[in-house]
Amino acid sequence: MKITIFLILTLISRAAFATTYCVAVAKFDINPYREIIDGKDMTYLPALFLSYISTEASDIGAIKAYDFSPDGKIFRAKINSEAKWDDGSALLPEELVYNFIKVLENRPLGQRIKIKGQKKISKIEDIKSIEGIKILDSQTFELTFESSIQNITGVLREALSTGSRHNRFWIVSSQGTKTKYFSRYKILDQSDHKITIDIKGQKIKFVTKDYCKNADIAVYPEFLQANLSDYTSESSPIQAAATIILNTNKPKDYRIKIANSIKEAFSKTDPAMGFVSANSFYIKGEPGYSGRNLWSSLEPLGFAQSPAKVFCEISVYKDFLAKKFPSWIYLNTESKDISSSDAQVLASSIFGGRHIIFQDLLKWKYVEGFLAKAPETLKILTKIEKLSASTIPPDSKVLLELENIAFNEASILPLGRRTLQVFTNKKSKIYADWNSGGEVIFKVRGESK
């Protein structure tokens, strides 16, 4: 009898959570105001939250009409009457303005763009005392900005739109103990390691990497303990770049041999993993592209003869390397001696022809120490970081300058590109796909793509 009850409860539990989505993070953080540094956060935050401006026909934006003044310093927007919070209530201009200010307070973008008279606020009522805010009617608001950057219209339009990465605005209303989300799907519950959403009566449970082994959907299949032949896959329209950061405290010839070894291992990867090697940061059509293959000239120096210590941001990169160099020491994000390693292999999305990694690299706590003896590399990365909040994208001249400097100082090298895929168990009632901005979305089996 007890066994029967246990089996029934197990079946009910599995039916209630028929689909699980593996997210390769240690814990979830849906604070809408924080700065996004870890690219893996982008595999779940865009799947949850909608934007101020929708660039997808299948999505709804919080605003349906907007315009900027010629100098970009006045922004007027009208709320989409069809847009609702997850509890079904209407979006109010005061709520969106409050959200806007809180994002600016907590992001580097807010150091270069401020609302006129902006000050720290803690509740919606505080916006009434800020000079640059006008609530024109129940659906319209106007913001006046103070900024010296060149392309305020482009920067803000991107940050407010679907598919953006670096400065993305997430829309949440949090007052007191009540939090409302402007979400793509209804959020049923959330914790540090699990988020449950509803899609047309079907539940999807997002789980963190420690709970991934039997997941139905994953972008990083290395966290699954499953046979991928049981899964279908969809390729993202957005590529990811693999980049080597070399420890410049080590001799230059040794650094180059480490880089050549890593490049050799990556060039031998299974084509099914979607990786293509490259000897340049940029490809044709992207800012910075020149047609040169600088790093191919380093190959005659050969490979590292002794075991190297390498940090790999995602475990699939470690798998690529371990097949060629099984005796090397491989570090992950929990390792304590990353700062003493020989190289770091990092992953980052390519968005609008821009390598997001170059904008954010100095925020990674181990990079400045690694590049301590590459002063020109540090200088150009600082310049790109500043430009990323004022010009979209940093121009080709600056990006070419980075490529030349990185080559001369043997500090940062390109490995290549990988097309991300999302894998879905063939038996799952819900499958995953991508929208045109490279964001994971979910659909019920039987729906058209």
Same-domain check for residues 343 and 408: yes
Query: What does the block give as tokens for 383?
Result: 């310049």
Q: Residue 388: is its pLDDT beyond 80?
A: no
Instruction: Tell me which of 162, 181, 200 is where a domain ends.
Output: 181
Give the residue among 3, 178, 6 at the shortest CA–CA distance from 95: 178
Same-domain check for residues 198 and 177: no
Helix 396-409 and helix 375-387, axial crossing angle in degrees, nearest 10: 160
Percent of the chain with pLDDT over 90: 48
Domain CATH code at residue 403:
3.10.105.10
**Structural domains in the chain (count):** 3
Q: How many CA atoms, within 13 angstroms, populate the side-chain half-sphere of residue 311?
A: 25
Strand 140-146 and strand 440-444: pairing? unpaired
Same-domain check for residues 213 and 308: no
Minimum mean pLDDT among 136-140, 272-276, 436-440: which range?
272-276
Same-domain check for residues 409 and 426: no
Same-domain check for residues 158 and 207: no
| CB distance 318 to 336 below 8 Å | no
- Long-range contacts of range 123-130, CB-CB < 8 Å, 24 or more positions apart? 123/98, 123/175, 124/94, 124/95, 124/98, 124/175, 127/94, 127/97, 127/98, 127/101, 130/101
Same-domain check for residues 278 and 385: yes
Same-domain check for residues 148 and 248: no
Same-domain check for residues 425 and 391: no
* Residue 2 included in any domain: no
* Residue 17 included in any domain: no
* Residue 72 included in any domain: yes
- Cα–Cα distance, 68 to 143 (Å, whole number): 10
* Residue 38 included in any domain: no
Peptide bond into 32 cis (omega under 30): no
Q: What is the pLDDT of residues 237-260, one digit of tens each?
A: 888 889 999 999 999 999 999 999
Q: Residue 296: is its pLDDT beyond 80?
A: no
At 344, which helix (H) or strand (E)? Answer: strand 343-351
Q: What is the pLDDT of residues 39-88, one digit of tens each?
A: 788 889 988 999 999 988 888 999 999 999 999 999 999 999 999 998 89
Same-domain check for residues 68 and 127: yes
Q: Classify burial at 231, counting beta carbons within 10 Å of its beta carbon; exposed 0-12, middle 13-18, buried 19 or more.
A: buried
Unique residue bearing structure tokens 């002063």:
375
* Residue 4 included in any domain: no
Report in angstroms the alpha-carbon separations of 411 from 257, 312, 437.
Answer: 13, 16, 31
Task: Enumerate residues 6+ apart whose C-beta is below 8 A from 370.
Answer: 245, 246, 247, 248, 249, 339, 344
Instruction: Tell me which of 181, 210, 225 is where a domain ends.
Output: 181
At 95, which helix (H) or strand (E)? Answer: helix 93-106
pLDDT at 8: 46
Domain CATH code at residue 152:
3.90.76.10
* Residue 138 included in any domain: yes
Same-domain check for residues 428 and 393: no
Minimum mean pLDDT among 6-10, 134-138, 426-430: which range?
6-10
* Residue 14 included in any domain: no
pLDDT at 12: 45
Same-domain check for residues 285 and 371: yes
Containing structural domain, residue 384: 238-420
Same-domain check for residues 255 and 374: yes
* Residue 28 included in any domain: no
pTM attached to this predicted model: 0.79
Average pLDDT over the chain, rounded to an integer? 86
Task: Enumerate residues 6+ apart whose C-beta is below 8 A from 38.
Answer: 25
Q: What is the pLDDT of residues 75-129, one digit of tens each?
A: 999 999 999 998 899 999 999 999 999 999 888 788 889 999 999 998 999 999 9
